[in-house]
Amino acid sequence: MENDVTLAQIEFRNVTKTYGPVVAVNDLFLSVRCGEFLTILGPSGSGKTTTLMLLAGFEAPDRGDIFIAGKSVAAVPSYRRDQGIVFQSYALFPHLNVGRNLEFPLEMRGIKAAERAKRVDSILARVHLNGLENRMPSQLSGGQQQRVALARALIADPPILLLDEPLGALDRNLREQMQSEIKSLHKEFGITTVCVTHDQEEALTLSDRIVVMRGGRIEQTDTPEAIYDRPATQFVAKFLGEANILENPGFLIESEAAQPPGTVAMIRPERICVAALDAPKRVDSEQCQFVTGTVENMIYAGPLRKYHVRVGPTLLVVREHVASGRRALQAGEAARLEWLRSDVRFVAA
Ligand code: ADP
Ligand code: MG
C-alpha cells in the first residue's frame, strides 16, 4: 500500500522530560531504524511509557527534540504523526462495535465508506477475526479485544507502530500466541515498531533490538542475543534473567580474559553443569573450571531442574535440562560444578 518505510526513521536527541521533581526521561539519545522492531525494556517507573508518549506526541519534551524521517516533530500534534498505537488496556471504544472501532482511524483520514469496508474486511482476516465486525467489545475475549486494538492500529497503514505493554493483560498461553502473531504481522507489514514492556521474555522473543532503561536513562542497546549473553552491566544481567555473580576472585573466577577494573564476574545458571563427584568430567575439560560444592536444594520445574549449590560463601544457581541424562542430586549431597571459562562475563558493577 502507500506505506513508505523510508519515512520511519525515529531519532531522540538529548530528550529530557520531568514531572515536578521526577526526571522521567533523562537526556535520551535513541534511534530506531526503518522497519525495525525495537523494544524498550525496563522495570516499572524507568521511563518507558514516557518515552512512548513523547514519541506519540501526547507529551512534549522539556529539552531536546525528536525527529522522524529527519524532521523535527516538535510542532506536529499527535493526530498528525501518523502512528498506530496500542496500549495495555485495550482502549477500544466500548459503545462502538468492532467494525466501527476499526473504521475510526480511516474516518479521521477522510477515507470513503466503500474503501473503509474493504479495509475492515481485509484487516479482520489478517488478525483472524473474520465475521466479528458486528460484535461489541464486551462480547469479545481479552485476546480478541487486543487483536482488534492491533488491527485498528494497523488499518490506516501507518509507517510507525507504538505498543505499550500490549500483552500485559493476557494470560500466559494467550500472550505467547499473540507474540507470534505480532511478530508475523511485523514481518508482513514491515512497519517500524517501538514496543514497551517490563517482560524480558517478550522483549527477547519479539525484538530486533532491545533498549534497557533504568531511571530514565538507557543502560544498554543491543540485539536480544547480545543483551542476554553479553550484558554490559550487572543491572542488565539481572533484569534479563538469573545471573550468578562470582564474588571471590581467584577462587571462582578463572576466565580467559583478565578482569577489567570496576566489573564483576557473571555466569548464567544454564552455563553451569552440576554433577555427582564420581560422574565423568566433560570431554573438553581443559577449557573448563571445576569447583566442588554442596547442594542446598533442588527445585523440579518440568523440563528443568534448578539447583542452589553452596561453594564456600557463594550460593550459585544452576539450571539443568532434565534431558541431559544426569540423575537428580539431593539436598546435602556434594557436587561438582563445571563451566567453560569462556562463559564467564565481566559486567560493570
Ligand atoms: P514506566 O512506563 O517505565 O513504568 P513511566 O514513564 O510511566 O515509567 O514513569 C517514569 C517516571 O515518571 C515514574 O517515576 C512516574 O511516576 C513518573 N511519571 C510518569 N507520568 C507522570 C505524570 N503524568 N505525572 C507525574 N509523574 C509521572
Ligand atoms: Mg509504563
Query: For 150-202, what is each residue's pLDDT tens digit?
Result: 999 999 999 999 999 988 877 888 888 888 889 988 988 889 999 999 999 99
- pLDDT higher than threshold 70 for residue 256: no
Pocket probe for ligand 1: among 17, 18, 22, the residue whose CB has the most ligand atoms within 8 Å is 22
Listed residues: CB within 5 A of ion ligand 2: 49
Segment of 33-47, 79-93, 158-172 carrying the highest mean pLDDT: 33-47
Q: Tell whether 23 is covered by a domain.
A: yes
Last residue of a domain, one of 171, 202, 232: 232
In CATH, what number is assigned to the domain containing residue 265?
2.40.50.140
pLDDT (average), residues 260-270: 92
Place of cell 561453594: 311
What is the reported pLDDT for 40?
98
pLDDT (average), residues 107-122: 94
What is the reported pLDDT for 240?
94
Starting from the CA of residue 24, give the closest ligand. Answer: 1
Q: Tell whether 237 is covered by a domain.
A: no
**Is 68 in the same domain as 142?**
yes
Which pLDDT tens digit goes with each residue over 3-26?
444 554 899 999 999 999 999 999
d(Cα 213, Cα 121) in Å, to the nearest integer?
Answer: 39
DSSP three-state, residue 226 = helix
What is the reported pLDDT for 286?
79
Starting from the CA of residue 87, give the closest ligand. Answer: 2
pLDDT (average), residues 85-95: 84
Partner residues linked to 319 by β-bridges = 306
For ligand 1, the distance from its centroid to the CA atom of residue 18, given in whole angstroms, is: 9
**Is 269 in the same domain as 221?**
no
- pLDDT higher than threshold 70 for residue 307: yes
Last residue of a domain, one of 211, 232, 253: 232
Pocket probe for ligand 1: among 19, 58, 62, 88, the residue whose CB has the most ligand atoms within 8 Å is 19
**Is 204 in the same domain as 58?**
yes
Q: What is the pTM of this model?
A: 0.90
Which pLDDT tens digit goes with each residue over 42-75?
999 999 999 999 999 999 999 999 999 999 999 9
Instruction: Give the rounded distance of the alpha carbon of 43 from its chain centre.
Output: 11
Starting from the CA of residue 166, give the closest ligand. Answer: 2
pLDDT (average), residues 129-156: 91
Q: Whose CA is nearest to atom 15 of ligand 1?
A: 45
Last residue of a domain, one of 232, 255, 289: 232
Contact between residue 132 and residue 100 where contact means Cβ atoms under 8 Å apart:
no
Contact between residue 331 and residue 216 where contact means Cβ atoms under 8 Å apart:
no
What is the reported pLDDT for 2?
43
**Is 257 in the same domain as 141?**
no
Pocket probe for ligand 1: among 41, 49, 239, the residue whose CB has the most ligand atoms within 8 Å is 49
135 lies in which domain range? 8-232
pLDDT over 70 percentage in the chain: 93
**Is 199 in the same domain as 312?**
no
Which among 137, 150, 210 has a CA at the least distance from the CA of 180? 150
Average pLDDT, the chain: 90
**Is 228 in the same domain as 246?**
no
DSSP three-state, residue 331 = coil
Confidence of residue 260 (pLDDT cuts 50, 70, 90): confident
Confidence of residue 90 (pLDDT cuts 50, 70, 90): low
